Amino acid sequence: MSLNLTRFARPDRGALFVVTGASGTGKTTLVKEALATIPNLSFSVSATTRAPRLGEVSGRDYHFVSQERHAEMVEAGAFLEWAEVYGNRYGTLRAPVEAALERGESILLEIDAQGAEQVRAALPDAVFIFILPPSIDTIEARLRGRSTDSEAIIQRRLADARLQLSRCGEFEYLLVNDDLNSGYDQLQAILIAELLRARRRASLVSQFTAG
Ligand code: ADP
Ligand code: 5GP
């Protein structure tokens, strides 16, 4: 049975989705598919000091900024959260997240566990999803298959993966990205269930309770 999202009713209040998981678990792949299928869902483009990978576009995948610019943005309070991951700094821009939520739209952040913890403290209503690999060996194979990182970076990402995985119990939803189609279905199921919550659908409630 495939999900039919074409008649999916827009909630009055959008949701802030936070997707976390170790590098190489397939977060970016799953998130891209979710953005293409779930209506009124946008992606929060983070700022990073890391160099762009082949095919990455500034403003679409990340805002690529210098160390100095990142520090200025931290100082100015421009980030909802920020963290250092594998020697590079990343941060979620506060303004676009707040603007999307104020418009009643949903927004999705793909950030690490340190960042997720900061978002939880600032916005406890956010929905936290952790992407798990079928095994650690799978992460290694996927990172090598992606061919975007040097051996030293792959080793660093694997060491950090163990650390990130050990925090999975802090998240509300666990998604095992084994087969990609199953991963897509699991992510869609989580996003849709959250958007159907009564607390996000005041106008539907009043339609049936008024008078
Ligand atoms: P992350 O964003 O978590 O670092 P990516 O989405 O870049 O991970 O995925 C890492 C690599 O694994 C990519 O080459 C991607 O195509 C591949 N991949 C992602 N999900 C799966 C899956 N379920 N099965 C096989 N390969 C996958
Ligand atoms: P990558 O360099 O592979 O795109 O991302 C490396 C790690 O940084 C991933 O775990 C990713 O989720 C995380 N990350 C990306 N953007 C942000 C952000 O804005 N904040 C935080 N805390 N982590 C981020």
Domain boundaries, the chain: 16-201
* pLDDT of 174 over the 70 cut: yes
Least distant ligand from the CA of 34: 1
The residues lining ligand 1, judged by C-beta closer than 6 Å to any ligand atom, are: 21, 23-29, 142, 145-146, 177, 179-180, 183
Of the ranges 10-14, 56-60, 166-170, the best mean pLDDT one: 56-60
- 27 or 149, higher pLDDT: 27
Does CATH number 3.40.50.300 belong to domain 16-201? yes
For residues 38 and 34, give the distance between their C-alpha atoms in angstroms, rounded to a whole number. 6
The residues lining ligand 2, judged by C-beta closer than 6 Å to any ligand atom, are: 23, 46, 50, 81, 83, 85, 90-92, 110-112, 114-115
Phi-psi region of 40 (alpha: psi -120 to 50; beta: other; left: phi over 0): left
Q: Order of strands across the sheet with 106-110?
A: 41-43, 106-110, 16-21, 127-132, 173-176
Q: What is the mean pLDDT of residues 161-182?
A: 93
Q: Indicate the pTM of the whole model.
A: 0.92
* pLDDT of 176 over the 80 cut: yes
pLDDT tens for each residue of 109-150: 999 999 999 999 999 999 999 999 999 889 899 889 888 888
